Amino acid sequence: MKHALDPVVALLNRLNYPQKFALISVLFAIPLVLVITLFLFEVGTKIAFSQAERDGTAYLRPLRSLFEHALHEQLFAHDQANGDATIAPALVAAQARIDADFVALAAIDRQLGARLGTSAALENLHGEWNDLKARGATMHTRMLDDVHTQFLGHIRDLIRLIGDSSNLILDPDLDTYYIMDTVLLRLPESQTQLAQLRLLGDRVARQGSANAEDRAQLITLNGLIEANLEAIDHGMGVATRNNATGTLRPAIEDAQTTYLATVSTLLEQNRQGLIKPGAIRIQPDAYRTQVLAALAASFGFWDRAVDQLDTLLQVRIDRFNQRKYLAFGVTGAVLLLVLLVWLAFYVAVMRTVRRLDAAAQRMSAGDMSGLVQLDSRDELGQVARSFNQVASALIATSAQRQAVLDNAVDAIITVDDTGQIDSCNPAAERVFGYGTAELLGGPIARLIPAPDHEQYRAVGVGREVTGRRCDGTAFPLDLAVGAMQTGGQQRYILIAHDLTERKREAEERAHLQAQIIRAQASALAELSSPLIPISDDVVVMPLIGMIDDQRMAQVIETLLRGVERHRARVAIIDITGVPVVDTQVAHGIIRAAQALRMLGSHTVITGIRPEVAQTLVGLGVDLHGIITRSTLQSGIAFAYRPS
């Protein structure tokens, strides 16, 4: 260790004290500047990330206005195509508002389009609108609805593009993430479904009757909207619980409650007035008004949510700026204090040096009476004291250094240029299991076998290699290597840290993360098997996607609880959305039907396609006692047949 300092000592010996202080100051300043620079870079990156999110919300505001006006324009155009001449002024006004929205979007795109990559998509969307406006009057109702649906879908595509390119979709905080999810995904989806519900429900209300297909579509839309409501309610609950400032709930609760209540009332009236068998009990004008009220509540909730998202993002940016300013202030104060102490230290050292120099010159001149009187008690003061005191200090220093080596947690090994071990500390015995006598003079390859045995020459820190204990077991090591010249020979200092415990903790964290992912997957599977009551004694469960044992158990549990809660006479299991029906799925459905029969409920299985029927016959599945229908509509018709 002493020889390793020789180059530094030689350099310092060639410098006077002002130069030494300047060199040490520079060496001290380099890591400090580096740390402060890295800290400021990290804070700046986080600020830029959050500012990009705010750019996204700024772009979403005029796009939200376009989406709302496009939905209204679709409804007005649909009504006019169905013969409602009184709606023409409202349609023209809606189209004018959309034109104004595109002007506002063009302005915001000039500011943010290059950064968010939205210019091409906005230009295509504007061209699509101009084409729709020009040809809309000549289209029949179905084609007009399809073109509008496509146009609205492209608006939602642009919304998602903004979410991706502005970092909104990657928001790191729970409160702002779930607000983003509501603003970016959930509410636009719900608003689209409400518009579809308005078109379908209005037609049924004007006809005064609903066939099985209409009721099935209404049931599906009702279920999708209700599932969306539950997801929004859950997400906003998580957001408010994890809002550190505590301002989110009072700011957003009334708008959220109004939205949920308005849409829930609409869904209940759909069930009672449109879906429930019998005469249609909803007037078209009243139905239109109620759907428009639900849409208005939805967009009002969107406005409140995006305002809070903006506020929370600004709070986050302000917090990062405060950290930056605090770092500047603390660093400046510490640097000032260090500078004062450093200057005082420099003055004290130079005063001692000058007194020693003056005394030496007097003694050189033969004046032995002028012994130096030193005020300092540091190393320079000890120059005037005895050799034994100096020797005692050196011995104490050496003992302290050896104590550090002996009590170090990591293995510290010195190796010569041929790979032979020169020295080691007690930690090396604990890490590798060899005694000191066994290690000294032995090859380093015994402890770090191939292919890593040459790593002792690679000077640096932070590399992982494989070590080997005396019993032959391999284990991971974090290896740091330093080089030194002693006696004209190259030697290496190896600091080895056993990573076994760290690896075990990492595996435990990975296992915990896997458990969390499985729990999330289970929750998603439960949401994908909703039980929808379509009347007082009839419930429907539409199954979508692949079904394994775990999901089938959830399906059965949901069916049993729902049938018991609703006292359902008939439970309809629709497997139209199940792509593969194998023996496992078939037997699971049979178990569900048997369990429901014990509760006094009849089971109707719908959505059995020809290939599914052929598969069930080939598997020898016995569906005796279970009612089957090819479509959900026919299953609902069976459920409401006269007893």
DSSP 386: -
What totals of helices (H) and strands (E) does the chain contain, helices first? 19, 10
| 162: nearest Cα among 52, 49, 236 | 52
Residue 465 CA to chain centroid, in angstroms? 32
pLDDT in tens, 164-193: 999 999 999 999 999 999 999 999 999 999
Q: Residue 370's pLDDT is what?
A: 55
Amino acid at 22: A
Of the ranges 3-7, 133-137, 288-292, the best mean pLDDT one = 288-292
Going by pLDDT thresholds of 50, 70 and 90, the confidence category of residue 119 is: very high
Q: Residue 228's pLDDT is what?
A: 93
d(CA 601, CA 111): 62
Q: Confirm if 297 and 194 have CB atoms less than 8 A apart.
A: no
Mean pLDDT, residues 15-42: 79
pLDDT in tens, 525-548: 555 678 889 888 899 989 888 888
CATH class of 408-499: alpha beta
Domain 512-639 carries which CATH code? Answer: 3.30.750.24
CB atoms within 10 A of CB 279: 9
Token pair recorded at residue 392? 């005692």
Which residues, in sequence order, are bridge partners of residue 628?
A: 605
Q: Confirm if 36 and 28 have CB atoms less than 8 A apart.
A: no
Amino acid at 434: Y
Burial class (CB within 10 angstroms; exposed 0-12, middle 13-18, buried 19+) of 415: buried
Confidence check: pLDDT of 19 > 80 = no
Which residues, in sequence order, are bridge partners of residue 572?
A: 540, 604
Comparison of pLDDT for 128 and 387, the residue scoring more: 128
Where along the chain do the CATH 1.20.120 domains lie? 44-170
Q: Confirm if 156 and 192 have CB atoms less than 8 A apart.
A: yes
Q: Confirm if 356 and 329 have CB atoms less than 8 A apart.
A: no
pLDDT in tens, 256-288: 999 999 999 999 988 888 887 766 777 888 888
CB atoms within 10 A of CB 8: 10
d(CA 74, CA 149): 8
Burial class (CB within 10 angstroms; exposed 0-12, middle 13-18, buried 19+) of 79: buried
Going by pLDDT thresholds of 50, 70 and 90, the confidence category of residue 388 is: very low
d(CA 28, CA 30): 6
CA distances from 548 to 308, 545, 589, 590, 594 (A): 41, 10, 12, 15, 19
Residue in this structure with the two tokens 């995904």, named with its chain if needed: 185
Token pair recorded at residue 76? 């007005």
Confidence check: pLDDT of 380 > 80 = no
Phi, psi angle pair for 628, to nearest 5°: -125, 145
Where along the chain do the CATH 3.30.750.24 domains lie? 512-639
Q: Residue 267's pLDDT is what?
A: 92
**Rounded CA Rg of the chain:** 39
Q: Confirm if 592 and 557 have CB atoms less than 8 A apart.
A: no
Using DSSP's 3-state secondary structure scheme, residue 604 falls into: strand
Sign of the C-alpha dihedral computed for residues 204, 209, 213 and 218 taken in this order: positive
**How many Å from the N-terminal Cα to the C-terminal Cα in the chain?**
98
Q: Residue 554's pLDDT is what?
A: 86
DSSP 208: T
Confidence check: pLDDT of 504 > 80 = yes
The matching CATH number, chosen from 3.40.50, 1.20.1300, 1.10.10, 1.20.120, for 44-170 is 1.20.120
Q: Residue 399's pLDDT is what?
A: 65
* Strand 489-498 to 532-533 pairing: unpaired
Q: Residue 618's pLDDT is what?
A: 78
Phi, psi angle pair for 468, to nearest 5°: -135, 125
pLDDT above 90 covers what percent of the chain?
Answer: 32
Which residues, in sequence order, are bridge partners of residue 627?
A: 604
Token pair recorded at residue 159? 């919304």
d(CA 231, CA 223): 12
d(CA 98, CA 635): 43
CA distances from 484 to 5, 130, 399, 416, 493 (A): 9, 76, 21, 10, 8
Where along the chain do the CATH 3.30.450.20 domains lie? 408-499
The beta strands (E) that lie in 425-530 are given as: 460-468, 474-486, 489-498
Q: What is the mean pLDDT of the chain?
A: 84
Residue 75 CA to chain centroid, in angstroms? 37
Using DSSP's 3-state secondary structure scheme, residue 477 falls into: strand
Token pair recorded at residue 106? 């063009």
pLDDT in tens, 279-331: 677 788 888 889 999 999 999 999 999 999 999 999 999 998 998 888 888 88
| 338: nearest Cα among 28, 18, 27 | 28
Comparison of pLDDT for 556 and 524, the residue scoring more: 556
Helix (H) or strand (E) holding 87: none
